[in-house]
Chains A and B, each alone.
Chain A
């Protein structure tokens, strides 16, 4: 495993999942994990399993909902999709992320 890959920054996995679901619609856990890997083009060191604890948390917050569906291997699996409040949450999270980014960026510029 390459050493250059970075860990998922703390607290951003939620945002990555929400954003993935915003574009991808209804997806199961494996395809969510794969999509995150593909988009990050292997820059990110993600244990695919770690999406599941995040998914249950987001579901309990009411931002995503689950439906039962059938996987490509013909198994019954959960499909996740955004709820109405989930869509709003995406905006909130994106704004928060941008604010935080802008703040950190200022410090980096100010540094000698």
Chain B
């Protein structure tokens, strides 16, 4: 069929009435002409009319043929069936409401989950030619990555031909003053061509110019659209404003367009201007992003950089002569392995919920089919083909599923709104969660698939019944094959819900274990925040140390504050700096976590000193360097370096300088040993070796403030802010959190999946209960007569009840057996998400079984008890 005819046929759909009218007119005119001609041959008018009809042939079949020729009849049929389906569902609001609600739940949960998966893994990054954006690293060995030093990065930039742009980046923070309450904002220090890498240009003004990264250039910044709105009220004159960052004026040269960079943590970008002391090849403090030239592959770029690196290897320090270069897709590390896995597990769970929802609706359809069999049989007797009847029932299911999909989009919207704050920072800035066309398409696809799953079996069953039998059969008949199908479906529901309940309980048990992990530090009544000292105002360690002294003294003076401590890192959040330790005169060394604390740190967190002494106030600049080690490090020193009784011994500890640009390994005296604290994630195995050095002796720009107080944070904070302002008005506090919140947050990776699977598990069990209820209730209503006779013959209510309960429990029992097989097969996929819980934890499996059985008993008892109350006389009279 050519296009022209296809179009004409499609148009004919719209002009249906007119075409019908025209056809009837033509037929009448035809018959009239034929009758006139026949009359001319001498027939009576009546005979002539009959003759005309005879030679014309069958009018209705011809009309049908005409319709088929001129138009797409199946579309017309579909529209008719659709209308019929809508009205038939409208007439059965109870069924429709339940079925649509169940489907909406299933489809909605899946659409929401798809939106997440799509944003994280499927959609291309929201930048032009995202496949050309890469990350570049130094590679100590194959497969591992490391930060980059300044000189190597500059050489790569100068010598490469593979990239359109290659930019360094270095996260930092800066205090913004003069725009409301002082705040600390995340800043990204970048090369001038940073935004070329992402292919983003400014909405207002411009991005950076080459000369703005030369030393001596005036300070310029680019801000995100969200920051422009939130901090500067969308001021259109922003480019003429001097913005005070860390007490120094900065010129805003551009505002970015709204979009991906608004979800980024960074709110301000500033050019990296290297200081002379940062120009070395030993300190790896930079990361890099780059845009490949069109047509250049990642492998080619990697080869070129490796070649450049080889050329320069003579300049590198000895210990990294054999380091290589790694070039990776930008999105490779955007989503962590753990998040990826929990998302896939959650997706698995919602797919199971959808399957259960399908099973329930199919079940309802079958039950409904029983009452509709007479209608179907009648229509079949009137000449409707079985294919047509099946198609019509399927269309009805389609109406149901589409309604479910529409309602499901509403549910998905709600779920996403609820999930956004929970997921928060665990999503990369490139992920845009929302209900777009792709999600809508997914929901529609799901609806079609569900239509087939839900609709095919019941429609075939309903339309294929034995016709005469169906017409003759009274309401009391029950088809055993249909009953079997229903029971099978419910059995599967029980099996799947057991699987989900097991999964959820495993995650909850794992969460419980995590909560009970000993942190080794005081969590209650501890408030934490942070301060970042700008290099401009605090160019050396003496100034920083003086600031620390003043601030902790002033804070301690606030009434109600019992203890104040400063440290570079908080417990449970990980220690970013890794260093080396060795013993003079002995070979080898050990890697340690390097933490700088003041004299109050151990007492504020309640960490006991096991040997020697704590860091003390007299350990200040100019006195011999001291280090306190934790138990774990003491054990490692003993094991690897044969250092017994470390207190009083001299060790050398890798120590970065104040500017974080290079380091040395000065000798330090071990003055004490403390009990282990949890420095990192709760689920990390074992303890890590930690060296605590005196913050006053080795200061750093960024410090955490730790306040031990009974006063709630909201009350004490204004005073803390005021104190900080007195000491230095250009500084701002970082995020304020209690230790309890930090503990809570360290659990969040385990809390969210547990609740997600938990909620879906509960939904699954309820749906399965609904299924069991339906089957038992149906069999009760079908067998009222039989029950009545039994009771008339002397059966007690108890017998009837126990018979029905056994009936329901058969389903539950079989379902449990199948579900257990599934559990053994599938929960092991979750093992990596579980903390100190086996995927086949027996107590969890028993608890899940008990839970499902209890729900099953309730679902059976409700309808069964109704049967037990049957009055034999009434029933027999009703149905006699």
A residues at B contact (CB < 8 Å): 28-31, 33-34, 47-50, 52-54, 56-57, 60-62, 71-73, 75-78
Contacts and interface: CB of A to CB of B under 8 A. Distances in A.
Contact of A78 (B2, B26, B58, B69): B26
B22 interface: yes
Contacts of A54: 69
Given A52-B26, A61-B5, A76-B25, A47 B55 contact: yes
B60 to A, nearest CB: 10
A71 B37 CA distance: 13
A47 B55 CA distance: 6
17 contacts: A47-B55, A48-B56, A49-B30, A52-B23, A52-B26, A52-B66, A53-B68, A53-B69, A56-B69, A57-B5, A61-B2, A61-B5, A72-B33, A72-B36, A73-B32, A75-B28, A75-B32
Given A30-B33, A47-B57, A52-B23, 5 more contacts: A47-B55, A49-B57, A54-B69, A56-B70, A73-B33
Given A29-B30, A30-B34, A77 B4 contact: no
Contacts of A52: 23, 26-27, 62, 66
B66 A77 contact: no
A78 B25 CA distance: 9
Contact of B22 (A73, A75, A78): A78
Nearest to A71: B29
B69 A57 contact: yes
A30 B59 contact: no
B58 A30 contact: no
Interface string B569-596: 0000000000000000000000000000
Contacts of B27: 49, 52
Given A30-B33, A49-B27, A78-B26, A60 B5 contact: yes
Given A50-B62, A56-B69, A75 B29 contact: yes
A60 B6 CA distance: 9
Contacts of B36: 72-73
Nearest to B36: A73
B8 interface: yes
B62 A77 contact: no
B518 interface: no
Contact of A48 (B34, B68, B70): B34
B22 A47 contact: no
Which residue, of B28, B34, B55, has the highest number of chain A Cβ atoms within 10 A? B55
B69 A47 contact: no
Contacts of B314: none
A28 B5 CA distance: 22
A71 B27 CA distance: 12
A54 B26 CA distance: 14
B65 interface: yes
Nearest to A68: B22
A57 B58 CA distance: 19
Interface string B1-32: 01011001100100000000011011111101
A28 B69 contact: no
Nearest to B65: A53
Interface in B40-75: 55-59, 62, 65-66, 68-70
Contacts of B22: 78
Interface string B730-753: 000000000000000000000000
A93 B307 CA distance: 72
A77 B25 contact: yes
Contacts of B62: 47, 49-50, 52-53
A53 B61 CA distance: 11
B4 A61 contact: yes
A38 to B, nearest CB: 12
A33 B30 CA distance: 10
Nearest to A34: B37
A81 to B, nearest CB: 16
A29 B25 CA distance: 11
Contact of B4 (A30, A33, A62): A62
B4 A49 contact: no
A62 B5 CA distance: 8
B409 to A, nearest CB: 39
B33 A48 contact: no
Nearest to A70: B29
A61 B9 CA distance: 10
Contact of A60 (B9, B58, B65): B9
Contact of B66 (A56, A61, A78): A56
The 9 A-B pairs at the shortest CB distance, nearest first, are namely A47-B57, A60-B8, A49-B62, A30-B33, A53-B65, A75-B29, A53-B69, A77-B29, A56-B70
A33 B27 CA distance: 12
Contacts of A31: 33
Contacts of B25: 75-77
A77 B70 CA distance: 18
Nearest to B35: A73
A72 B57 CA distance: 22
Contacts of A76: 25, 29
Contacts of A48: 30, 34, 55-57
Contact of A49 (B9, B28, B56): B56
A8 to B, nearest CB: 12
A43 B65 CA distance: 24
A29 B62 CA distance: 14
A72 B32 CA distance: 10
Contacts of B9: 60
Nearest to A28: B29
Contacts of A34: 37
A49 B33 contact: no
A28 B34 CA distance: 12
Nearest to A85: B4
B59 A49 contact: yes
Contacts of A60: 4-5, 8-9, 12, 69-70
Given A48-B34, A48-B57, A50-B62, A30 B29 contact: yes
Contacts of B57: 47-50
A47 B58 contact: yes
The residue in B2, B5, B8, B30 that gathers the most chain A C-beta atoms within 10 A of its C-beta is B30
A109 B219 CA distance: 100
A11 to B, nearest CB: 14
A6 B72 CA distance: 31
B518 to A, nearest CB: 82
Contacts of B2: 61
A52 to B, nearest CB: 6
